[in-house]
Amino acid sequence: MRRTALLVSAALLTGLLPLASAGAATGAEEPPPVPVDRFEGEVPFASQPAEGIFTWGGDSDDPPKLELAARDDAPEGDKVLSGTYDISGYGGFTHDFAANEPGHDWSAHKGIRFWWDGKNTGKKVNFEIKDGGSNGEASELWTTSFTDEWAGWHQVEIPFTDFAYRTDYQPVGGIDQNLGLTEMWGYALTLPTGTPGTFAMDGVELYGKADPALTTKVLTGAAVYPVKEGGTARVPISVATTGSAPLAEPVTVAYESAGGSAGAGTDYTPVKGEFTFPAGTASGAAHTVSVPTLKDKAAESAETIPLKLTVTGAKAPAETPQVVIDAHGLPYLDTRLPVKRRVADLLSRMSLDEKAGQMTQAERNAVGTGGDIAAYDLGSLLSGGGSTPTPNTAAAWAKMIDGFQLRAQATRFQIPLIYGVDAVHGHNNLVGATVLPHNIGIGATRDPGTAEKAGAVTAAEVRATGIPWDFAPCLCVSRDERWGRSYESFGEDPALVKQMETVVQGLQGARSGKDLDRNDKVLATAKHFVGDGGTEYGSSTTGSYTIDQGVTKVTRQELEAVHLAPFQEAVDRGIGTVMPSYSSLDIIGDDEGPVKMHADAAMINGVLKDRMGFDGFVISDWQAIDQLPGDYASDVRTSVNAGLDMIMVPSAYKDFRTTLIDEVKAGRIGERRIDDAVSRILTQKFKLGLFEKPYADTSGAAAIGSAGHRSVARTAAAESQVLLKNAGGVLPLKKSQKVYVAGSNADDIGNQTGGWTVTWQGSSGKITDGTTVLEGMKKAAPGATISYSKDASAPTDGYDVGVVVVGETPYAEGIGDVGNGNDLELTAADRAAVDKVCGAMKCAVLIVSGRPQLIGDRLGDIDALVASWLPGTEGDGVADVLYGAKPFTGQLPVTWPKSQAQLPINVGDTAYDPQFPFGWGLTTLRTPPGGGTLTLKALALAAAAAQKAGSAEAGRAVVGKARLLVQQKVGQDITPAVAKPFADADHLLLSGRYADAVAKLTEAYRAA
């Protein structure tokens, strides 16, 4: 049957206007329904920035198939939106309003309703609306659900009061967690998973008169008000209206101090009263309630005083505000005591529930406004990649984290949170931060000093936003460039990775941990323990990944020499935390088969903690224990008994904590294991000074993205550039030359910074502040003629030289695995740009990428070739070496293959025939020495002397001269007989064996 008659023509005409005025409802009259979607074709299948309906899903099979279908039984009009779905992960559809028009005002209405053609499946369908923000894909999500439990058409009515702030995901990290309804951007439905289905929907509209509680609310300044014993807490209570209009009706607030752990009359003076905000009161007006506390001489834990509020005429605060009398006089609060004694004292007072909370880490979005922090005694929060406050500013980060820390003050012992982020190449989640080269570029610098400075810049910018913990550095030894995390590695040689671990001191300061309480240092994390860089291609069972999170199959000798060595170095440097890998370890000959690292007690307890002497704490990776075999209780039991101290359970923190407690009570996890884990966590919190200063010290915020920090990043970018070929001395460029610039990565800050930049996967385009390569070139040669044509479609006549900047677009983790929609080939557009420019003039090709790209078929047509890696926000650094302000000094941190079929290919392989060997890198710093073999003999003697004297500086200088001599003779004729000893020489150099390195270089020289 049709429902068109329910919509009178006047209402229909009004409703089809894009905005429904909040003032449309006056007095007791109920406003007419306002159509949102009639599905008659007035809203197309389209996406942002245009208005439209579009589908989405977890993979290519998950988005539903939609059509506007004519049906005789359509409840409204002639057509309905119908669809089919078969979803394994997640999938659904969205109607976004146009982003170039104002958001819609829904505040006059009670809720949203629509017709649903039920199949009586008993399955839930999630329905969400989009509130505030700049557009539908940058809004705040509010969600509810309905259950398909009828057959045929049924009108589903959802009042706006049923919607809850979505805690598992927010596209821009959330906005204000207030359903304002004045700037709405559409809705979305998430369809059921597991079985195929069909659906039909019609007549989405707004209905009813707005609930006054949605337009007027009473707020408190905070949920928690700490006060020192004997002080007076002051709780501001304010009134706010949608659109900031004056109150239409009076609002009365009655208050009373009642309940809590503090004693009325002994710990505080009870308060009780009532006040009224009269009609006409301005939105934002406030009244303060004072709660005096009483002082005694006893040492006590924190005590709470809830201030119960009863509101008439408005929506009451979501939570009862609590006054908290600070803990005082207890030994763990005494800064004069050694950390070990403070930890022991605090641990002795804690309950099992409190200890379990300390071992639990939740994601910020999952805890919403943070009430669960005290309710579950949570010890830690994190921001996943791209999980940021709105606006994404340093001040907003500090405010957000301070708000969470305030919640922890309502716990019995006021144990502060430790907040962590993945700041893997600078404070990369923060727009405007200094973004440094990814680790593969830092490895190319061969400069431990640069690595340490990079860590120091990262630490200073991260700590200035209130974050004391960084999930970095990655100490993986990348053995296969098909891995989507290749760029997170310093290189393929453990000796190189160890050399770059000066980054730990940059992040943490002194090895003893004495600097951790500084406002420019953070707790660092060595990851991923152990062997994640050695996973075999095709061994991953995670989704469509091909290598990430797979199996590392090695001999025990290879495990020790390649993958474990960097972690011993990190432990020796005082690393504070270690994160196990998602991957599995299969040690050849032990007959155990692959063991998930999060379950590997022999490696975590036995090797890391016992043999290596690691005294920090072990933090799991994101939901990693869910990948262990068995049920959830088994996952918890196995991982904790294997040595994990804190578990990253982004949204499952309640289940994890409950399960952990149950497992301990059942005797399947020992209390000594729990006490060890909590002691390790508390030790780092005390070292960080969080008990004394839990809140953000923003005094260093002015340095975020500063000229000084960007100078460090600029130098790192310059040092990371590896000159692979330079026929005819094309580089450095001359400022007098007319330069033709082309390529997809010449003028794209997003591509230049790569994954883990602002969002988890990163993205192309202007995503943060910085200088592109093209902009850097124009600044380096301000008077020069520099023309840019991205696709090289502009005429090429009249130029002296071309610079083509090509490579990859951003990705992170297994999303970037080769075979998961990726390969190591340049795109067709990039190949065309290289061919056109290099066919028309002398050219230099820069490859901006997280790993080597296959360029051999074009190498003969390219005069100069540069591996630029992912240089970060400072394209000026790339321009510095292009124009000779700084010399090319970088060396390959990984072997550059000739073909994908060669992979994996690494220094030390028996068969070794790369395009460019490990350690290759021409320089414009100095000319190679003359003298051939006679000079090499002299250098061999000097290298032996340096090695005997233990002089690393002299040894590196001698080997560097020999390397230049070999590269000059070899040119581009890099045969296996040359490549293998050349690469072996670089490994020997990194290992401090200078005389052996020169001997290998002499072998390469003779083979050339």
The mean pLDDT values, 10 residues at a time, for the chain of 1008 residues are 30 36 48 95 94 90 94 96 92 96 93 96 95 93 95 96 84 78 95 92 95 81 96 96 84 96 97 97 96 95 98 92 98 98 98 98 92 97 91 93 98 98 98 98 98 98 98 98 98 98 98 98 98 98 96 98 98 98 97 96 98 98 97 98 98 97 98 98 98 98 98 98 97 98 98 97 96 98 96 98 98 97 97 98 98 96 98 98 98 98 98 98 90 95 96 96 96 97 98 98 97
In single-letter form, the type of residue at position 586 comes to: D
- The Cα–Cα gap between 504 and 705 comes to 21
User: What is the rounded end-to-end Cα distance, in angstroms, of the chain?
Assistant: 86
Nearest to 679 by CA among 617, 618, 619, 637: 617
Q: Are the CB atoms for 357 and 380 separated by under 8 Å?
A: no
Query: Which residues are registered as beta bridge partners of 789?
Result: 742
SS3 call for 146: strand
- For residue 207 the two structure tokens come to 């209905």
- The Cα–Cα gap between 95 and 101 comes to 15
- The Cα–Cα gap between 234 and 810 comes to 49
pTM, to two decimals: 0.87
- For residue 491 the two structure tokens come to 């290189």
SS (H, E, C) 583-652: CEEEECCCCCCCEEHHHCHHHHHHHHHHHCCCCCEEECCCCHHHHCCCCHHHHHHHHHHCCCCEEECCCC
String of DSSP letters for 369-428: TSHHHHHTT--EEEE-TT---SS-SHHHHHHHHHHHHHHHTTSTT-PPPEEEE--SSBST
For residue 347, give the H/E element and its range.
helix 339-349
Contacts of residue 666, defined as CB under 8 A and 6 or more positions apart, other chains included, come to none
- For residue 460 the two structure tokens come to 């200073």
Nearest to 871 by CA among 739, 747, 766, 749: 749
- For residue 1001 the two structure tokens come to 């270089």
Nearest to 683 by CA among 342, 418, 241, 394: 342
- Give the Cα-Cα-Cα angle 393, 399, 402 (nearest 5 degrees): 140
Q: Are the CB atoms for 434 and 490 separated by under 8 Å?
A: no
How many Cβ atoms from other residues are within 10 Å of residue 886's Cβ?
A: 20
Beta-strand relationship, 739-742 and 124-131: unpaired
Contacts of residue 219, defined as CB under 8 A and 6 or more positions apart, other chains included, come to 237, 238, 239, 240, 317
Q: Are the CB atoms for 389 and 367 separated by under 8 Å?
A: no
Query: How many residues are listed for the chain in this entry?
Result: 1008
DSSP 886: S
Contacts of residue 31, defined as CB under 8 A and 6 or more positions apart, other chains included, come to 20, 24, 25, 108, 109, 208, 209
The reported pLDDT for the residue numbered 28 is 52
For residue 13, give the H/E element and its range.
helix 9-15
- The Cα–Cα gap between 36 and 112 comes to 9
Active-site residue, selected from the candidate residues 813, 863, 986, 1003: 813
Active-site residue, selected from the candidate residues 536, 621, 635, 984: 621
- The Cα–Cα gap between 973 and 986 comes to 19
Alpha helices, DSSP H, located in 173-258? 212-215
Taking phi over 0 as left and psi of -120 to 50 as alpha, with beta for the rest, 689 belongs to: left
Alpha helices, DSSP H, located in 501-564? 502-508, 556-558
How buried is residue 973: exposed, middle or buried, by Cβ count under 10 Å (0-12/13-18/19+)? exposed
String of DSSP letters for 728-793: GG--S--TTS-EEEESTTTT-HHHHH-SSBSBSS--SSS-SS-B-HHHHHHHHSTTS-EEEETTS-
State residue 68 phi and psi, 5-degree precision: -90, 105
- Give the Cα-Cα-Cα angle 440, 446, 451 (nearest 5 degrees): 70
Query: Which residues are registered as beta bridge partners of 240?
Result: 217
Q: Are the CB atoms for 798 and 738 separated by under 8 Å?
A: yes
CA 79 to chain CA centroid, Å, is 43
* Residue whose entry in the numeric block shows the structure tokens 């495990």: 559
- The Cα–Cα gap between 899 and 112 comes to 57
Residue burial 728-761, b: 16+ Cβ < 10 Å; e: rest = eebbbbeeebebbbbbbbbbbbbbbbbbbbbbbb
Contacts of residue 787, defined as CB under 8 A and 6 or more positions apart, other chains included, come to 738, 739, 740, 741, 794, 799
* Residue whose entry in the numeric block shows the structure tokens 């002497």: 613
Nearest to 712 by CA among 437, 423, 470, 431: 437
Contacts of residue 977, defined as CB under 8 A and 6 or more positions apart, other chains included, come to 1004, 1007
- For residue 943 the two structure tokens come to 């290298």
- The Cα–Cα gap between 1004 and 977 comes to 7
**Angle, helices 773-780/875-882, rounded to nearest 10 degrees:** 50
Q: Are the CB atoms for 416 and 404 separated by under 8 Å?
A: no
CA 355 to chain CA centroid, Å, is 27
The reported pLDDT for the residue numbered 211 is 74
**Angle, helices 952-970/932-949, rounded to nearest 10 degrees:** 160
The reported pLDDT for the residue numbered 817 is 98
Nearest to 550 by CA among 594, 590, 580, 491: 594
Nearest to 147 by CA among 118, 115, 186: 118
The reported pLDDT for the residue numbered 297 is 86
DSSP 826: P
Nearest to 849 by CA among 431, 385, 437: 437
813 is catalytic: yes
